[in-house]
Amino acid sequence: MKRTKLHALAVIWICCMLIGGSASVSAAPSPSPVRVTTTALKLVFDGKTLKLPEGQYLFMVKGTAYVPVRFVSYALMKRVIWDAKDRSVRIEEPDQAERKRLESYLKAAAAKDNQAAAEGGVALSVVPAEAKFAFMGAEKHPASGLKVYSYKGTLYVPVRFMSESAGVKIIWDAAGKRITGYSEAYLRGQNPALPASGGAGPDASSDTGTSTEAVPGAGKGQGSSGASGGTAGGGAPGGGAVDAAYTAIVTKAEKRLTELQNACQADMTDLLNKYLKAESGAERNKLLGQGEELLGKCTEDFETILSQTKAELEAGGFSTAILEEYRKHFEEMISLGKALVKTRVD
C-alpha cells in the first residue's frame, strides 16, 4: 500500500476505534449476536430503588441477569475506569469528592419502590465482548461459561459477579422480580432484617458491563464513549437541588454523546463494509475520502456538545472537570486507531 494512502485509511481505523466499531480491514470474524428480550426487574441497592438511564436495560441469558457495568458500579458506590487499549475494567474505591458525585448520580437515578429498573419485553441483539476485570487491584473473572455482552456501546455484565466481587451481598426474589444488594457498610450501619434468599434464581449459582467506548464505550457517556466514559460527576457543590441540576446537565450531555456515537458507528460501519467490497482503486479512494469527511463531522459534533455543556455548567456555577474526561477518552481512541493503522500498513 502506498504511504500516500495511509492518512485516509487511518481515518477509517480511527473512526471505527473512536465509535467502538468491531469491523476490521483484516476481515477477522466477528462474534455472532445473541437475541435477548429485556426483563422488567427491580434493582434495590442499600435500600434505594434505582432506574437505569434511558436506552439501557436488564436482560437474562441462560438464567443469568445482566446489567450495564458502569451503572451497577455506581450503584455499588464504586469508581469505574475503562481502558480501551487492553479492554480492561477497573473497579476502585472512590475518594471523598467522587463519593459525593456518585451520591448525586444515584439521587437522580432514584425510582419508586415498586418501579422496574428498565422496560421489559424489548427485543435486543447483544454481542459477546472481551473484557478483563480488576476489583480494588485484584483480577477477577466471571464464572466459567458466563460471557460479557455489548449493546450500543454499553458493556453488560452478570450482576452477581459485579456485586459480590465488590463485596456486596446479592439476594434474588423470584416472586417479586427483585434483585437486592446490601454492602457491608450498609449492613453495619442499618442492620436491616434481610429477606430470605429465594435459592438459586438468576445468576445465583452459575455466576461468580463504554467505549468505551464506547465501552467500548461507554453507555451513558461510556464511551462515547463508551463508549464515552468517565464518572457521572465533576465537582458539583452539595445540596439536593444543586446536585440534581448538575446531574441533569451531565446526563443530557452523556445522552447526546451516546447518540452521536451510535450515529457515527452506523455510518462508518456502512462505509467500511463498502470499502471491503470495493473492486477498484478509484472506488476505494472515493470511500476513503468519505471516511475523512465523516470523521471531521463526528469530531465537529463532539466539540459542539462539549462547548454547549461547558456553557451550561459554567452558567450553573459547576465544575467543568468532567469534560476533560470526555476529551481524554476521545483522544485516547484516536491515538489507538493511529497505532493500529501503523501496525497494519508498515
Distance CA 258, CA 248 (A): 15
- For 300, other C-beta atoms within 10 Å of its C-beta total 9
**Position of cell 465544575?**
319
Separation between Cα atoms, residue 302 and residue 334, nearest integer Å: 13
Alpha carbons 246 and 231: distance in angstroms, whole number: 13
- Strands (E) in the chain, as ranges, are 34-37, 42-45, 48-50, 59-61, 64-68, 79-83, 88-92, 123-129, 132-135, 138-140, 148-151, 154-158, 168-173, 178-183
pLDDT of residue 49: 93
Q: Fill in the amino acid letter for 194.
A: L
- In tens, the pLDDT along 177-221 reads 888 888 777 776 665 454 444 444 454 434 433 222 222 223 333
What band does 43 get if pLDDT is binned at 50, 70 and 90? very high
Which residues have a Cβ under 8 Å from the Cβ of 311 and sit 6 or more positions away? none
- How many C-alpha atoms does 321 have within 13 Å on its Cβ side? 13
Ramachandran region, residue 214 (left: φ > 0; alpha: ψ -120 to 50; beta: rest): left
Q: Is the confidence at residue 316, as pLDDT, over 70?
A: yes
- Higher-scoring residue by pLDDT: 263, 224: 263
Residue 183 Cα distances to 1, 272, 344, angstroms: 56, 46, 47
What are the φ/ψ torsions at residue 22 (nearest 5 degrees)?
-105, 0
Distance CA 29, CA 16 (A): 16
In 115-214, the DSSP E strands lie at 123-129, 132-135, 138-140, 148-151, 154-158, 168-173, 178-183
Q: Choose from 27-31, 48-52, 243-247, 324-328 the range with maximum mean pLDDT.
A: 48-52
Q: What integer pLDDT is reported at residue 143 of this predicted model?
A: 86
pLDDT at 106 over 90: no
